């Protein structure tokens, strides 16, 4: 594959909705890597992005501390109120 072809394919690849250290809110319950449940509505921080946003590694501190791999459909951006 030439560099030009790779660059063209890379430009067409889906881009991540979130970036590292974005604050997010769960829209669905997920399970942490340790097996604990994190309920919908819990806030977390994106600490890793898999395959240009196919999934995200999210760190939670409350109500359960842990990491979870979360699909983008189960996340929304946290909006801070002024």
pLDDT in tens, 61-79: 988 889 999 999 999 999 8
Q: What is the pLDDT of residue 2?
A: 54
Number of domain units in the chain: 1
Of 82, 79, 75, 81, nearest in space to 59 by CA = 75
Q: In this structure, is residue 20 part of a structural domain? A: yes
Domain holding 55: CATH number? 2.30.30.40
Instruction: Give the position of tokens 């109120």.
Output: 81
Give the containing element (helix H, strand E) for 4.
helix 3-12
Q: What is the pLDDT of residue 62?
A: 84
């Amino acid at each position: 594959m030439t560099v030009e072809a790779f660059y063209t394919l890379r430009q067409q690849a889906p881009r991540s909705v979130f970036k590292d250290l974005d604050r997010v809110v769960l829209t669905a319950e997920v399970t942490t890597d340790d097996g604990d449940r994190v309920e919908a509505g819990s806030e977390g921080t994106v600490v890793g992005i898999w395959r240009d946003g196919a999934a995200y590694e999210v760190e939670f501190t409350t109500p359960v501390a842990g990491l979870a791999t979360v699909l983008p459909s189960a996340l929304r951006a946290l909006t801070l109120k002024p």
